[in-house]
Amino acid sequence: MDYINIALAKGRLGDEAYKLLKAIGLGESIVPESRKLIFKDEERKISFVYVKPSDVVTYVQNGVADLGIVGKDVILESDNDVYEILDLGFGKCKFAVAGIKGKKTYKKDEVLRVATKYPTIAKKYFDEKGQKIKIIKLNGSVELAPLVGLSDVIVDLVETGNTLKANGLEVFEDMFGITAKLICNRVSYRFKYDRISKLIESIKEWEGMYY
């Protein structure tokens, strides 16, 4: 029997995904605290790879992974074509435009400097509003940008709001909410349909699903 290959995101979302896999009896082979990147469950014929969140979609798109667990943020930002089969409910947070507290002074006819890890999402959002922007692409810690004068605002994920607060920033505009998704390679979905459907069913029965 072929393996079912699942790509998981390193970091916060990967930890949540691991809890889900454990709960449905599929995480036995994973040692989360180890530095290993690949885990094989020979008995159940499932293997797991840990990759950067933004690479999960690439692995699934190329069929190297049949399934992946990744945030909707990453899916929206990538231009890959994968099948989103299930909303997993965890990893809940929102996209927001934020900036220095009390300094929401930007105007439509001025070019707004937007620092973000998500240029595609930010561009689409402001295009739809008719706001001219200049994107400043960063790879993390974007909250710093307005503080040092690199940008006027940021477009980023907000979960608890602690990072914004700790840096004297506030939400200017809520954009939209996101969660973690189970994604599938389109060809795998056809050729490994039975095993993939079974896996989806057991996730749906998982009681953490609706929290």
Binding site for ligand PRP (CB under 6 A): 140-141, 143, 156-163
Least gap, CB of 98 to ligand PRP (angstroms): 10
Q: Helix, strand, coil % (nearest 5) of the chain? A: 35, 30, 35
Least gap, CB of 70 to ligand PRP (angstroms): 14
Least gap, CB of 155 to ligand PRP (angstroms): 10
Instruction: Please say which residue, 102 or 140, places its beta carbon nearer to ligand PRP.
Output: 140
Q: By the 8 A CB rule, do 155 and 134 touch? A: no
SS3 130: coil
Instruction: Please say which residue, 66 or 73, places its beta carbon nearer to ligand PRP.
Output: 73
Q: Distance (Å, rounded) from C-alpha 7 to C-alpha 182?
A: 10
Q: Which single residue brings its beta carbon nearest to ligand PRP?
A: 140
| Residue labelled with tokens 């749906």 | 204
Instruction: Please say which residue, 66 or 156, places its beta carbon nearer to ligand PRP.
Output: 156
Instruction: Please say which residue, 150 or 157, places its beta carbon nearer to ligand PRP.
Output: 157
Exposed / middle / buried, residue 207 (Cβ in 10 Å: 0-12, 13-18, 19+): exposed
